[in-house]
Structure 1
Amino acid sequence: MKVFTIDFGAGRAALAVRVGQPGELPAALHDLGLGTPRPVVTVVGGAGGMTAADLDGLRAVMAEGVIPAIHDSGATVVDGGTDAGVMRLMGRARNGFPLVGVAAAATVTLPGGATAAAGAAPLEPHHSHFVLTPGREWGAEAPWIVDVAARVADPHPAVTVLVNGGRIAYDDAARALRAGRAVLVLAGSGRAADRIAGAREGECGNDPATRIAGSPLVHIVQISDTAAVRARLRTLLTPPS
């Protein structure tokens, strides 16, 4: 296990490390310079299934709600690291905070490297750090994302923000809830997020959405209310007195 640099060109580079088992994470995070605990925001949700219009509709809530709350709390952000959907949006919006992409190594490509598997995706070039994990299928990185967030945050709060999302987003939210982590659902962002918001309002028929919506750890805020998103996320990232 050795830290290396991923050079994306145009003056952009990120530190990265490959890990093989969870027990390697503490040393890996320390070597990446992420050993000092900080609050964590984990961003999960839409990737390749999001359209350009979907992303355009999220720019205001990210710029006026999510990003300011991250800065207010001094948080580190953890996501899936690929150049698609909300991960692309987070990378383009990053302005100084640590942004850690956690991805299964065989599902992504590095600049100038060989494609490990059919359908592998490029890494998002504005991230500051990457943790590359075992796994050959999308979703294999999910438990690692939870573990990385927990280790970076402890003993500070960690919050999962769910934006849009497909099938894997339900699993990501459920994992966060099992870890005792608050989940902030951005209603109006589409797909899984909107189904969870609908289930909270009494709409039935989607079992994962209904189960998630029923948790007291789930907070639902409309993307159109950017001030409320900022205030709620900032509150969730503030340690209890």
Structure 2
Amino acid sequence: METVRVGSGAELGGAGLPSGRPVLVLVGGADGMPADDVDRLERVLRDLVPLLERHRAVVVDGGTDVGVMRAVGRARATAGGVFPLVGVIVEALAGQAEAEPNHTHLVLVPGSAWGDEVAWLAEVAAVVAGPRPSLTVLANGGAVAFDDAEQSLRLDRPLVVLRGTGRTADAIAGGADERSATLAGSPLTAVLDAEELRAHVEGVFSGRPGGSG
């Protein structure tokens, strides 16, 4: 795993990260995500691995060995994936959580609390993608996942909310409150069932409007 430290956005371009490649940003559940839900998400993400390889895509996430990050790391390993898997962690908190071992890159960023990485994670994805397509996939999640979703839309990055994965994702999918309804109602947001994800990602990476087949 290659580890880099950055103190400003200007440093990201020289951080040795992959560039000019499609990006899937994965956000959502961390240590509050039940183990059974992590296992179910791993199976969904395992089905994406051949697509990610074919498009030479990069996955960017929060990097720790819990929740959605554990699911994608294990999915990559089990399916024999070689795509770059980039984790973004607040450096001051890196000692409080193990990095998921199947990640290829770890970007340590400034901050003092969980959630301080939100803007950085989105910016890392933008630098890696450059002019290529990118999208955010949200599964499960706590309070920070709302911030991740809003940051994605703020950057005009399409957002996929996986219905049935619990907590924040289901709140948005069901328009549970004003904030959730606003996110769900964005023209950039698609609320999908797990079995619809692969075709949607294929569509986005292939440049088809709406991201569908």
Q: TM-score, normalised by structure 1?
A: 0.81
Q: Is the 8 A contact 1:72 1:234 kept in 2?
A: no
What is the CA deviation profile of residues 108-163 of structure 1, one whole-angstrom value per residue up to 9, with x for unaligned ones?
A: 12xxxxxxxxxx21111110001100111001111011111001101001100001
Query: Would you tell me which structure has more helix in proportion to its own residues?
Result: 2
Query: Would you tell me which structure has more strand in proportion to its own residues?
Result: 1
1:236 corresponding residue in structure 2? 204
In the alignment, the residues of structure 2 paired with residue 167 and residue 61 of structure 1 have an alpha-carbon distance, to the nearest angstrom, of 23
The structure 2 residue matched to 1:81, chosen from 63, 71, 85, is: 63
| Amino acid across the alignment from 1:104 | V
Identity level (%): 47
1:132 corresponding residue in structure 2? 108
Q: Which runs of 5+ in 2 are unaligned?
A: none
The structure 2 residue matched to 1:210, chosen from 157, 181, 185, is: 181
What is the CA deviation profile of residues 76-128 of structure 1, one whole-angstrom value per residue up to 9, with x for unaligned ones?
A: 0000000100001111112200000011001112xxxxxxxxxx211111100
In the alignment, the residues of structure 2 paired with residue 102 and residue 69 of structure 1 have an alpha-carbon distance, to the nearest angstrom, of 23
Alignment of 1:91-130 (within 5 A): 91-94=73-76, 95-109=81-95, 120-130=96-106
Closer, same or farther: CA 126–48 of 1 in aligned 2, 3 Å: same
Q: Segments of 4+ in structure 1 off by > 4 A?
A: none
| Amino acid across the alignment from 1:189 | T
The structure 2 residue matched to 1:172, chosen from 148, 151, 154, is: 148
Q: Which runs of 5+ in 1 are unaligned?
A: 1-13, 110-119
Q: Is the 8 A contact 2:3 2:107 kept in 1?
A: yes
| Amino acid across the alignment from 1:43 | L
Q: Secondary structure at the match of 2:53?
A: helix
The structure whose Rg is larger is 1
2:2 corresponding residue in structure 1? 15
Q: Is the 8 A contact 1:44 1:161 kept in 2?
A: yes
How far apart are residue 195 of structure 1 and its match?
1.2
What is the CA deviation profile of residues 150-209 of structure 1, one whole-angstrom value per residue up to 9, with x for unaligned ones?
A: 01101001100001111110110000001001011111111111111112xxxx4x2221
Q: TM-score, normalised by structure 2?
A: 0.92
In the alignment, the residues of structure 2 paired with residue 237 and residue 194 of structure 1 have an alpha-carbon distance, to the nearest angstrom, of 25
1:115 corresponding residue in structure 2? none
How far apart are residue 55 of structure 1 and its match?
1.3
In the alignment, the residues of structure 1 paired with residue 55 and residue 173 of structure 2 have an alpha-carbon distance, to the nearest angstrom, of 26
User: For the aligned residues, what is the CA RMSD?
Assistant: 1.4
In the alignment, the residues of structure 1 paired with residue 145 and residue 181 of structure 2 have an alpha-carbon distance, to the nearest angstrom, of 14
Q: Secondary structure at the match of 1:122?
A: coil
Bigger mean CA offset, 66-75 vs 19-28: 66-75
In the alignment, the residues of structure 2 paired with residue 213 and residue 105 of structure 1 have an alpha-carbon distance, to the nearest angstrom, of 32
Q: Is the 8 A contact 1:107 1:137 kept in 2?
A: yes
In the alignment, does 2:38 pair up with 1:38?
no
